[in-house]
Structure 1
Amino acid sequence: MNIVVLSGAGLSAEQGLGTFRDADGLWTRYPLERVATPEGFAADPALVHDFYNARRANMREAVPGAAHEALARLSRRPGVTLVTQNVDDLLERAGAEGVIHMHGELTRALCHACGARWQAPEAMAPGDPCPACARAATRPDIVWFGEIPYRMEEIEAALARADLFVSIGTSGTVYPAAGFVELARMAGAETLELNLEASGGRFDVTREGPASRIVPAWVAEILPQ
Structure 2
Amino acid sequence: AFEKGAANATMLTQFQHLSLRGPDVLGVAVAVTLFSSSLQTLDLGNNTICDAGAVAISAGLKVSPSLEDLYLLGNSIGCVGAAAISEGLKLNASLKYLSLGANNIGDAGAVAISGGLKANTVLKILGLSYNQIGDVGGVAIGDGLSVNVSLNVLNLSNNSIGNAGATAIGVALRSNDSVGLRELFVSAALVEHPALKAACAAKGVKCWLCRV
Larger radius of gyration: 1
**Structure with the bigger percentage of helix:** 2
**Structure with the bigger percentage of strand:** 1
Whose RCO is larger (CA < 8 A, sep 6+)? 1
Q: How does the TM-score come out when normalised to structure 1?
A: 0.28
Q: How does the TM-score come out when normalised to structure 2?
A: 0.29
